[in-house]
Amino acid sequence: MIVFARQQSWVLDLGAALKVNQTLSTLRSPSIVLSILALVAVVTNIRPCLAQDFSVESKTPPSVVGAGTFVSLEGRFSIALPQGIHGFRPLAFNTAAGRAVGDAYDWKMKEGSFIAGYVDAPQPLDGPEMSKQVFESIRNGMDSWARSQNGKLIAHKQFDLDSHPALEVKLELPAGLIWQRYYLVSRRLYEVSLALKTEQRAYEDLALRVCESFKVLSDVEVTAAVKTKAAEAEPTPLPQEPVAARVGSDAADDGLRGKVKTVFQEDEDLSGTWSVQGRKPAAKEYYDERGNLTKREFYDYKGNLDEIMVYGYLDGARVASRKSIEHEYNPPPMMIASAPGATRAKSDPRYSNKFTFQYDDKGRLIEKTWLLSNGEVSIRYVYKYSRNQREELVYSSDGSLNQHYVSVLDATGNEIEETTFETRDGSVRSKSKYAYEFDAKGNWIKRTTSKWVTKDGKSDYAPAYVDYRTINYY
């Protein structure tokens, strides 16, 4: 369980926030209180914001023996716990000094409950004076919390781990033991936590060895692992000849002008609501000289490479093959069972998707259909044009309307307004406006999106996010 505490005049009201029951069956470590305690030394007005979390557990808690090694490239650490069976909670805090973000992972094992996590503060924490304040706050907070639970802090020590300041605390509670270690690495505070119920204390030595296996990864190790993951996710290239006949091209359908070679897109939040702030990668597209895609890279909400899709031609059709990169913070894929007695057509292992296109007499795309490699429709896009407006209708595999948009276009075809409608009744769901900056070819290189919002009874457009594009040409 990942929990939060609020700072109130340097007194942490942890009892209510942690909701730690003093029975044997509900012993939990007071994590991720580490994030709050560390920042207490430097900021106030802390307001936690959460993104999606998940938990993957087995019916019977597994043993740490032979569990393998969990590696978090995002967190830049490893620990001797299983990679596939864990819980995850992303963390984001708005503070007076700026935004603090991090992640926490937890495991329920036979030998105890473990947590490994981190939070990045708005400013460095590992200087001599700052680390002293941070660790003092943690130690005092843990001592206060333990006493509030009819327990006590029975041991603590400061030391260095690979030249990084570290603190260890041990709490004894009526329900068992809690052991925690904290490490400061520049702006980052790591925590490794172990909670042992009384009946698990026989495993203490073994469980502590797991905690002591925690390692902060070097830049070289992280870079090498990221490159390996990307290489493993690169699909086998598809044939580029013979080219399937088509009125338009991918570049033209996307409104690109000139002989575009690559488009690298980044985004940045302006609303202060995204869990990850700052400018980060969103996608990169590679085009051939005909203007058709050869490869597309997708990046997730953290700015990490998430999926690679390669394009080509097979049997006279436009096709693509894709592979995903599984990150430690990704929820497990959902398995959808087929209806009893249902059979599906056989898939073609050479590709993932096939595409069909239809154009009007002005060369404008009016329909694009994605098909699975077994021939079933995955999704269908229909476009209708009327003067300076374009209507987009998106249909699901069963033919039902899934999305509905109407855009207002400028003289060169760029969207300047977009309205999203509810599919069930046609009411307005949201409205957006776009402002652009262009390069010499007329392609936008910066697009600012503003959303229609209502606050305190007043409605207006408010800046939401910015997309940036770096475009290279042949």
Q: What is the pLDDT of residue 49?
A: 40
Residue with tokens 């002591």: 212
276 touches 299 (CB < 8 A): no
What is the C-alpha separation between 336 and 338, in angstroms, rounded? 7
Q: Which domains does the chain show, CATH number per domain?
A: 7-222 (no CATH), 238-334+341-473 (2.40.160)
Task: Give, as one character, the DSSP assignment of residue 185.
Answer: E
Tokens of 59: 């019916």
Q: What is the pLDDT of residue 27?
A: 52
**pTM of the predicted model as reported, rounded to 2 decimal places:** 0.81
Q: What is the pLDDT of residue 276?
A: 83
Residue with tokens 């030394």: 41
102 touches 122 (CB < 8 A): no
16: Cβ contacts below 8 Å, ≥ 6 apart: none
What is the C-alpha separation between 471 and 15, in angstroms, rounded? 54
Q: What is the pLDDT of residue 333?
A: 66
Q: What is the pLDDT of residue 55?
A: 62
Q: Which helix (H) or strand (E) holds 229?
A: helix 219-232
Cis peptide before 239 (omega within 30 of 0): no
- Residues of the chain short of pLDDT 50, as ranges, are 1-26, 30-51
What radius of gyration do the chain's Cα atoms show?
Answer: 27
What is the C-alpha separation between 83 and 73, in angstroms, rounded? 12
- Residue 46: phi, psi to the nearest 5? -90, 130
Q: What is the pLDDT of residue 90?
A: 80
Q: Which residue pairs from 411-417 have beta carbons closer than 8 angstroms and sit at least 24 positions apart in sequence? A: 412/442, 413/255, 414/255, 414/444, 415/390
Q: What is the pLDDT of residue 21?
A: 28
